[in-house]
Structure 1
Amino acid sequence: MELRDIEIFLTLAEELHFGRTAERLHVSPARVSQAIKKQERSVGVELFERTSRQVALTPVGQRLRDELAPAYQQIQDAIAKAAGTGRGISGVLRVGFSAAWCGNLVVKAADAFRARHPDCEIQIQEMPLHDRFGPLRRRELDLQLTELPADESDITAGPTVFSEPRALVVPAGHPFAERESVSLEDLAHSPLITITGPPQYWLDLHFPHHTPAGTPIPRGPSTIAWQEVLSLISAGKGVCSTAARAAHYYSRPDLAYVPFRDAPTIDYALLWLTAGQSAKVQAFVQTVLAIAHDPGGRAPAGRTGTGK
């Protein structure tokens, strides 16, 4: 079995969909089908059960996946190490993150990156909520994982790494706290606590002035730190939108996190200075994307999001 055919098999074992496998590997669905049929002829047994509605691994296919995956990863790691040495992936790479769940992903990616590029040191730091692009521009960071949008002429935004549904943070005694969900139209009924510092286009997306129907959204206090936002909400000064998973990271008895049923997701991406793009940066970007889509579930559990 050739290395490319192993890659096709393992990708299909993860996606369980011929079209998505072909798109991910930049080949045709026919190429995927041919490779799988070739492998099944070679081993003399079906590796996948196919129907018009689904694709599933057979018991033999499951065993082959479990035995091939570690060996394939070792091969990929060895190739990456050799390529990294050839491209000079060494020194220090400074990576920032804006939310706790982004930090978890960055730490996991850093561990994988160090295994492939042992000559490169990864330094990780949390970014200030109010200064979204300053650390990049001051060259204090090489790249960062943070919320979109990032419409800056000197900054490149990579592909979306993952997306998070939104929730509204309200005081525990707020009328919304007992609801199963809220609507964007409900923002018209409570002051919205906002952040000072980010660009206006970013604030307009995450802290709008009007509901979709055009009703004004009253403004509450503005601050620069997430813990201050939570304290203001607890004191009854207003409400704030955030990622739904913030409820797991910032759970407090005086607060409630109520999911939105109609709000857009919060999308997270890696950003870097366009002038600072390098093999080292791109190698880390690819590592984060690989970890975020890892079938073992090591990525954030959102859909592949403002708030700390």
Structure 2
Amino acid sequence: METRQLKYFLAVAEELHFGRAAKRLFISQPPLSQQIKKFEDELGVKLFQRNKRSVALTAAGVSLLRDAPGIMRAIGRAKSNLLDAATGEGGQFTLGYIGPALETTLTEIIRDFKGQYPSVRLDLREMFTTDQLKAIRSGDIDAGIVRLFRHDVSDLERELFHRESYALVVPDGHPLADRAAVDVSELAGEQFIFFPREGQPRLYDEWMRVFSEAGFVPDVVQEATRKSATVALVAANMGIGIVPESMARIKPQGVVFKRLSGDFPVIEMSLIYRSTNGFPAVDNFIAAVRQNWADRKQDKN
């Protein structure tokens, strides 16, 4: 069944006259009659009862007349969706992300992207970095916001998305609260609120190395997956914490943030995707991430 055949059928069905239908379609009558006969042969049913004086719809013709407008609209929508997907104006885009990414400008990028491409169906999935890398390689997701730490991504493309350092957070009245800066080595003997190894084993092990080289093993009295939970537990005087420096912008009550010095990793998040993703919507999102990063660097300068 072709769109042209349906168009010819609708013209004849609505006019019930081959001559008028041919005139409406800007073709001559013989080719129209031939096309309708071919259409009936392909379907295996008669659509019209016709003689020299009249044209009438058969039961099959009445049924097709009822369905044809919906079929034409569906075909039109499908063509429009294909064009949108081909240009990045539509289609579906699946993005993985690590939880902490929501505390960065990711929400701003998503908002702007949806504003510019409202027809794109954006599917967001919170996943650990290692799970995202597997999903990108298998094609389960199109791209991901990850934190890389000694991960091999030589087969993937990477766009730096976010970078910041860590800060020390202590309760109000803590002996370190009046210090301008604190070195990691000065944290020996303190009770820590720290993130669990599960989900970020490489980063956890790197911090344990940092503490070990500073001469101590941290006394972790409570684990907290979310950085906001770490700050809340510090405010409750459960211990001290190490969190992204951006957490200080929230200005929570009951805690003090201090610049932390020492040999420890910085926080970097990246947008990861396959070089041959083939989806213009992904390319448009990549462009949005690049523009956001460039704007932030310009603002700092």
Normalising by the smaller structure, the TM-score range is 0.5 to 0.7
Give yes or no for contact 1:92–1:122 (8 Å, CA) kept in 2.
yes
Deviation at 1:124, TM superposition (A): 4.8
Deviation at 1:186, TM superposition (A): 2.1
Give yes or no for contact 1:150–1:157 (8 Å, CA) kept in 2.
no
Partner of 1:59: none
Distance 1:199 1:184, change over 3 A: same
Q: CA–CA distance in 1 between the matches of 2:155 and 2:173?
A: 42
Partner of 1:43: none
Partner of 2:190: 190
Q: CA–CA distance in 1 between the matches of 2:150 and 2:282?
A: 18
Q: CA–CA distance in 1 between the matches of 2:150 and 2:285?
A: 19
Partner of 2:259: 259
Ranges in structure 2 where 5+ consecutive residues have no aligned partner: 1-82
Give yes or no for contact 2:166–2:267 (8 Å, CA) kept in 1.
yes
Q: Deviations over 1:138-170 (max 9, x none)?
A: 688643334332616699461322311220112
The 5 Å alignment of 1:167-246 reads: 167-196=167-196, 197-205=198-206, 207-211=207-211, 213-220=213-220, 221-246=222-247
Distance 1:101 1:86, change over 3 A: closer
Q: CA–CA distance in 1 between the matches of 2:118 and 2:96?
A: 20
Superposition RMSD in Å = 3.8
Deviation at 1:178, TM superposition (A): 1.3
The 5 Å alignment of 1:276-295 reads: 277-279=277-279, 280-294=281-295
Q: CA–CA distance in 1 between the matches of 2:227 and 2:140?
A: 22
Give yes or no for contact 1:105–1:288 (8 Å, CA) kept in 2.
no
Partner of 1:62: none
Q: CA–CA distance in 1 between the matches of 2:249 and 2:89?
A: 36
Give yes or no for contact 1:102–1:146 (8 Å, CA) kept in 2.
no
Secondary structure of 2:182's aligned partner: coil
The 5 Å alignment of 1:92-241 reads: 92-98=92-98, 102-103=102-103, 105-114=105-114, 116-124=116-124, 127=126, 131-134=128-131, 142-149=142-149, 151=151, 156=156, 158-196=158-196, 197-205=198-206, 207-211=207-211, 213-220=213-220, 221-241=222-242
The 5 Å alignment of 1:40-119 reads: 86-87=86-87, 90-98=90-98, 102-103=102-103, 105-114=105-114, 116-119=116-119
Distance 1:146 1:179, change over 3 A: farther
Give yes or no for contact 2:160–2:268 (8 Å, CA) kept in 1.
yes
Q: How many percent identity over aligned positions?
A: 17
Q: Deviations over 1:244-286 (max 9, x none)?
A: 111113x3222111111344421121135x5994433343122
Distance 1:271 1:189, change over 3 A: farther
Secondary structure of 1:176's aligned partner: coil
Q: CA–CA distance in 2 between the matches of 1:276 and 1:237?
A: 49
Give yes or no for contact 1:165–1:265 (8 Å, CA) kept in 2.
yes
TM-score, normalised on structure 1? Answer: 0.55
Kindly indicate which of the two structures has a greater share of residues assigned to helix.
2
TM-score, normalised on structure 2? Answer: 0.56
Secondary structure of 1:149's aligned partner: coil
Distance 1:233 1:191, change over 3 A: same
Q: CA–CA distance in 2 between the matches of 1:255 and 1:294?
A: 31
Deviation at 1:137, TM superposition (A): 5.2
Ranges in structure 1 where 5+ consecutive residues have no aligned partner: 1-82, 304-308
Distance 1:293 1:88, change over 3 A: closer
Partner of 1:31: none
Secondary structure of 1:178's aligned partner: coil
Alignment size in residue pairs:
212
